């Protein structure tokens, strides 16, 4: 077969005076000889050399016009980028009357199409939803370093627990909207929240002062040990007239997998009384609000009064590796 970029070989010599000379053949005659015709090679005719480029798709005629599967997939994935939030549209995929697509989350916020400005409808694009079910998407935290690609059915669960997902400020203050990578959380805490103190060692005293003041209050400090940083928090919640509760928590500035490797103990000792608590630290990935229903130390007002001295509550916090705690 003749290939582009090669000059056609001489097919036969011209000899109009010799009636027995082979006639000049058209290229089609060379590529597709008629049934029963002699073998051109046997007749001494020169044929184009076979292509030596076996690494190109054009080497196989059946694949000559077939684009790479990866290119097709990337193209289809790009079609599913929402024009508003620039995230990938997952079913249900909505469209305007002219066919422009938009994700379901952004659809609830808009009354007109962001592309053509016609009134938005509640029409679903079932064809693109079927396409989406066959594609592999990058994690939405890929810009932070995640290289995982997965189906849309698994995408949401992965992104909620992706180790590259930005961390929010763990300080118990709703006004702080900072978020960033895990490696920057500690520096943010000590530089932005000036009342957060730090202490070195796996056995420290966390002193909460003026615990009898009225209203919702919180005390926070960072305990550094075992090459890690742990956030200690005591939060006072006002539940109603004369009803107050204190939640003591230890959270690790790290992932949930890393936090599971440690155990912490909180002990209160005063006035010949002793109270001890042991649990595993949670990751700062979890919101402090969710701790009220978790396995953290909960103290009522009367218990705090029993263990406080001059309005101050001293909590002895010891953090150990879970393996060491099991051996002891």
Q: Answer yes or no: is pLDDT of 296 > 90.
A: no
Task: Verify that 305 and 208 share a domain, yes or no.
Answer: yes
Encoding tokens for residue 29? 């005659």
Q: Which of 47-51, 304-308, 323-327 has the lowest mean pLDDT?
A: 47-51
Q: What is the pLDDT of residues 248-262, one digit of tens each?
A: 989 999 988 899 999
Beta pairing class for 262-270 and 243-252: unpaired
* Full-model pTM: 0.61
Identify the pLDDT of residue 266. 97
Q: Give the single-character DSSP code of 309.
A: B
CATH number for the domain that contains residue 89: 3.30.40.10
CB 102 within 8 A of CB 95: yes
What is the mean pLDDT of the segment spanning 34-53?
44
What is the mean pLDDT of the segment spanning 285-302?
73
Identify the pLDDT of residue 215. 77
CATH number for the domain that contains residue 296: 2.60.210.10
Identify the pLDDT of residue 203. 97
Task: Verify that 109 and 214 share a domain, yes or no.
Answer: no
Distance CA 248, CA 227 (A): 23
Q: Answer yes or no: is pLDDT of 64 > 60.
A: no
Residue at token pair 């909207």? 177
Beta pairing class for 179-180 and 197-200: unpaired
Of residues 152 and 126, more confidently modeled:
126
Task: Verify that 196 and 114 share a domain, yes or no.
Answer: no
Q: Answer yes or no: is pLDDT of 276 > 70.
A: yes
Angstrom distances, CA of residue 125 to CA of 87, 94, 115, 317? 17, 6, 16, 56
The total number of structural domains that make up the chain: 2
For residue 265, the enclosing domain spans: 183-327
Confidence of residue 62 (pLDDT cuts 50, 70, 90): very low
């Amino acid at each position: 077969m003749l290939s582009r970029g090669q000059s056609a070989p001489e097919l036969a010599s011209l000899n109009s005076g010799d009636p027995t000379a082979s006639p000049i053949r058209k290229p089609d005659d060379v590529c597709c000889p008629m049934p029963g015709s002699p073998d051109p090679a046997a007749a001494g005719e020169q044929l184009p050399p076979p292509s030596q480029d076996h690494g190109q798709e054009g080497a196989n005629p059946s694949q000559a016009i077939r684009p790479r599967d990866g290119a097709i997939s990337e193209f289809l994935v790009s079609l599913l980028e929402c024009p508003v939030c620039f995230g990938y549209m997952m079913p249900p995929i909505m469209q305007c009357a002219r066919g422009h697509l938009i994700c379901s989350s952004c659809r609830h916020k808009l009354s007109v199409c962001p592309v053509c400005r016609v009134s938005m409808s509640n029409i679903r694009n079932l064809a693109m939803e079927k396409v989406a079910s066959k594609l592999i998407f990058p994690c939405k935290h890929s810009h932070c370093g995640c290289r995982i690609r997965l189906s849309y059915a698994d995408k949401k669960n992965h992104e909620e627990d992706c180790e590259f997902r930005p961390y929010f400020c763990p300080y118990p203050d709703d006004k702080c909207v900072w978020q960033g990578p895990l490696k920057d959380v500690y520096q943010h805490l000590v530089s932005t929240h000036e009342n957060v103190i730090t202490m070195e060692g796996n056995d420290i005293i966390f002193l909460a002062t003026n615990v009898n003041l009225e209203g919702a209050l919180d005390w926070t400090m960072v305990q550094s040990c075992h090459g890690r940083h742990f956030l200690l928090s005591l939060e006072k919640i006002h539940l109603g007239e004369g009803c107050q509760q204190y939640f003591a928590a230890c959270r690790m500035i790290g992932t949930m997998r890393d936090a599971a490797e440690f155990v912490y103990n909180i002990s209160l000792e005063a006035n010949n009384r002793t109270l001890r608590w042991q649990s595993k630290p949670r990751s700062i990935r979890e919101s402090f609000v969710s701790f009220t229903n978790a396995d953290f130390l909960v103290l009522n007002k009367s218990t705090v009064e029993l263990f406080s001295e001059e309005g101050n509550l001293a909590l002895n916090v010891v953090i150990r590796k879970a393996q060491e705690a099991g051996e002891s």
